[in-house]
Structure 1
């Protein structure tokens, strides 16, 4: 069944879309709730980026920001993500249809048609063989906690193979390169990102938190992604024309440099915190991507390629041990996430 609060909030957006101004009292009467409930609904919607403005005066109410009208049939990916996380695009449960859920929640036939078209046109695939993400099952609990400001007790696996339990304040969720990431903060400290497929348990608590003033997940994520992996180690890659298009689709940093050559090849200069994660990336391109600097990375790639060739040598009784110094962490995932699967 549709969550009544979600359905009411979607109905509010629909009323604001068809009117230039709707008084708060009229919204409350339409949905049979108090003015305070409408205020909380508006706060929830605006906190997730829906462009709603309050209008002053004795008959004050709300309107959609005129510079950013929300059209349900021409949603961009960011708007679609907001609706998905809010639960408006959930598939029907067994034994019910979208129409059943709409009627049970008091959603008009017009709004049901909008929801039907949304579900028909928007899909977040969390079960693809290439980018399988086991963390999507946590979304129902996570989005409820985000909307209600409820702290979560989270048990997750750490990079060293251990397990940790922490009390977290969930600020948002991001779908990036085939994975869900939760943006959350501990009781004290700045926000961090947690991969949901490393989370074993999300348990709501009876503790609530106030959303930090001025904080937006999109701005925080953009800044964090820019800083992630940056460092002082200079890496120079020579890329042939065959691999040029795909390599230039990778997310480069503000410190990266690309030099074009007359033959169609490029030289890409990166400044990274460590070069180990580049080993699986460079070797996956064979001769089309070669390392010019640093020498240690060149030597590690040569050792890795020799190790791979030895594994295919039918004269070898057993696969030889891998060369020393290769990473045993998330380097392979780090190097491939963000690449275009169909390239």
Structure 2
């Protein structure tokens, strides 16, 4: 289908789906001039489509009441893109924004009026934002090229920057892409390896397509691989078990400060509360050094019982912070001020949860 024929079909389906539409609205949606829209409307009329203009401030173009076209078949690209129908941002990142919009338009045009109204109402009232709070989406300049290689089953040669900053070149067989909290991950198999691995697309510094198709393993399941890999990743990431005593305030803050994985770990290991409501639990940490910084967020609402080196690290950092402020005027806050500060911390934690 050439570009003009595709545009004429889009004009027709837009009129069928939305009823009255102005020339300027059509021009904005199709990214053409108003003059081009006028020519397209004339072409539709010449082809026997009963389209007419309503004059006045509330005017626009309409189809004759009762007219419906069945020219709403999806192209192969549009059918492939339907997975991203509710994800306009990720679809655009993959270079599928216009294709998804075209597919949605054809689907809407094919619906009965009452079902179309329900679909439009759903789109108006529900929105999916895939990026987590307090962070931005990854910048992945090679994402469209990676996606193209996934579709075509073509190998790619990449220069990949690891977590520590060192970069290496490798040839990959790309099996699939996963969007997780605003970051794209590539699941691929190195040509010199026998196992699938996960690569963060934002860390691909250079990419060169290899015009060589690979045979995709028929039994491979992207959802199953990702679920197993994600669970293994968290298990391997949090390798240091810290034994802690947590106050009721700290228990509330764990979910907001440490995430659901470690919240579950605390819930599964928590002892019965003592007379003051404190519990003993195991909180997994990534490392002693980083864990000390994390636990300081809980202040006096948490006590570290082990390992001893973690307890010493937190004590040393707490002494350094106290020394920094010990000469300030009014450094000793009264009990009411301390309680107010604790309440403010609770409110902030609850707002993040």
Whether 1:213 and 2:218 are equivalent positions in the alignment is yes
SS class of match (1:156): strand
SS class of match (2:271): strand
Distance in 1, Cα, partners of 2:224 & 2:294: 28
- Equivalent residue number for residue 323 of structure 1: none
- Assess if the C-alpha contact under 8 Å between 1:135 and 1:195 holds in 2: no
Distance in 1, Cα, partners of 2:325 & 2:98: 49
Distance in 1, Cα, partners of 2:232 & 2:319: 34
- Equivalent residue number for residue 224 of structure 1: 229
SS class of match (1:214): coil
Matches within 5 A, 1:95-106: 98=101, 101=102
- Equivalent residue number for residue 295 of structure 2: 282
* Bigger relative contact order, structure 1 or 2 (CA pairs below 8 A, ≥6 apart): 1
Shift in Å at residue 30 of structure 1? 8.5
Distance in 2, Cα, partners of 1:197 & 1:267: 40
Whether 1:241 and 2:253 are equivalent positions in the alignment is no
- Max radius of gyration: which structure? 2
Matches within 5 A, 1:50-61: none
- Equivalent residue number for residue 342 of structure 1: 352
SS class of match (2:270): strand
Tell me the alpha carbon deviations over residues 17-66 of structure 1, each in whole angstroms, 9 at most, x when there is no partner: xxxxxxxxxxxx99598xxxx7x999x79xx9x7xxxxxxxxxxxxxxxx
Distance in 2, Cα, partners of 1:110 & 1:265: 60
Distance in 2, Cα, partners of 1:265 & 1:124: 37
Tell me the alpha carbon deviations over residues 261-306 of structure 1, each in whole angstroms, 9 at most, x when there is no partner: 1544433325667444422321222222332110011112222333
- Assess if the C-alpha contact under 8 Å between 1:157 and 1:164 holds in 2: yes
- Equivalent residue number for residue 269 of structure 2: 257
Distance 1:82 1:191, change over 3 A: farther
Whether 1:139 and 2:114 are equivalent positions in the alignment is no
Query: RMSD across aligned C-alpha pairs, in angstroms?
Result: 4.7
SS class of match (1:210): coil
- Equivalent residue number for residue 61 of structure 2: none
| Structure 1: runs of 5+ lacking an equivalent | 5-28, 51-77, 316-338
Distance in 1, Cα, partners of 2:95 & 2:120: 7
SS class of match (1:247): helix
Tell me which moved more, 300-309 or 81-90. Answer: 81-90
- Assess if the C-alpha contact under 8 Å between 2:156 and 2:208 holds in 1: yes
Shift in Å at residue 309 of structure 1? 4.5
- Assess if the C-alpha contact under 8 Å between 1:239 and 1:266 holds in 2: yes
- Assess if the C-alpha contact under 8 Å between 2:159 and 2:205 holds in 1: yes
* Higher percent of residues as helix: 2
Distance 1:295 1:122, change over 3 A: same
SS class of match (1:259): coil
Matches within 5 A, 1:114-193: 121-124=126-129, 130-187=134-191, 188-193=193-198
For normalisation by structure 1, the TM-score amounts to 0.55
- Equivalent residue number for residue 59 of structure 1: none
Tell me which moved more, 268-277 or 297-306. Answer: 268-277
Shift in Å at residue 226 of structure 1? 2.5
Shift in Å at residue 140 of structure 1? 2.2
Distance 1:237 1:150, change over 3 A: farther
Report how many aligned residue pairs link the two structures.
250
Distance in 2, Cα, partners of 1:134 & 1:116: 31
Distance in 1, Cα, partners of 2:130 & 2:284: 33
Distance 1:125 1:222, change over 3 A: closer
For normalisation by structure 2, the TM-score amounts to 0.54
